[in-house]
Structure 1
Amino acid sequence: MTNQKAVKIVLFGALGGIIASIAMYPFLFLTTSMMGLPLDDLSIARGMAISNINDNYYLNLTLGIVMHLLTGAIAGVIFAIIVSTVKKLATINLKRGITEGVIYSIIIFIVLFIPTTLGMVLPNLFDLMNQSNPTQSNFEDRQTVEQNLIPIYGFGFIAHIIFGIILGLVITLLIFKGQVIQKS
């Protein structure tokens, strides 16, 4: 593989990951909406995990969105490199590209989403709930989140499937159909 092809694969992988990450946002909004929270609270909770500052709305919102898109870009690059270099996984048509994208996104869901949601996002979500409704007890906040764990993980899973479909589609169209990878 030439350097020019490698650069294109990385750039197209990043682009595919960012596009797929953006497509996940309606499911993030649906999740927070079901919990009775403002639509941007999951992004803010993510940002709080980075900044360790609880009272800077715009900083945390920006950090949360950037972290989500950066994670998607990195995941897209890794996917593009894998399907471009491992001959057995070469994305030869749209169906295979989408299938591989979905499988990859399920792995991301299990390895990345579940642990980071439990360890980083949920504790900050409790803080946000407490800030937005200080009359509600911590117990009630935790109960609200616990009652919504199935929707949180359910919509998270669906969002990751959508991520995989779009990532597989974009990578197949840009890299394989766009002839970045020459078939031999």
Structure 2
Amino acid sequence: MIDEKTARENVIRAADELFYAHGVQAVGMDAVRTAAGVSLKRIYSLFASKDELIVAVLHHRTETWDNGLAGAAERATTARERILTIFDFLDGWFREPDFRGCAFINAHGELGASSSAVTGAVRAQKQAFQEYVARLVADAGAPPALAPQLAILAEGAQTTAAISGTPDAARHARAAAETLLDAAARVRG
């Protein structure tokens, strides 16, 4: 028998893959059980409800997102480049064969009206991303008002790429971000 930590990780990983590929509401707990190789009884001892599992998946996605952004930013040498790596990170993600849009936006679209726990997890991730962008903007010496504009570009690119089925939105959003950064630099200079 696998230990609790491994079982929990297996369930979260399986649920994440299933929810992202098919949608949260379309995936039943039996499918999660089969994919994770963990009994329903054990799953419900780890997660009191499907909502609790969805929130755990969203927390897992937050870690993945944060690590991806941090990894992309490591290659940058200036504050401006760190901002633009957000869009480079998105471009790489949009090119993955299993890209289905933002899991947070997708989950909120499916359950936001009926699950305060899911809404809370989605809002927390979006707020953390906005705070990350705000730190990068501050590091660049740009006006604070630029941060939400850049965050909206990134969020919009995710939705556009998912709907259009092409990664072009990342490139367009990056170009718009460069324009905004240039304009902010002119105002400062």
- Fold similarity call, TM over 0.5: no
User: Which has the bigger relative contact order, CA under 8 A and spacing at least 6?
Assistant: 1
Using the size of structure 2 for normalisation, the TM-score is 0.33
How high is the TM-score relative to the length of structure 1?
0.33
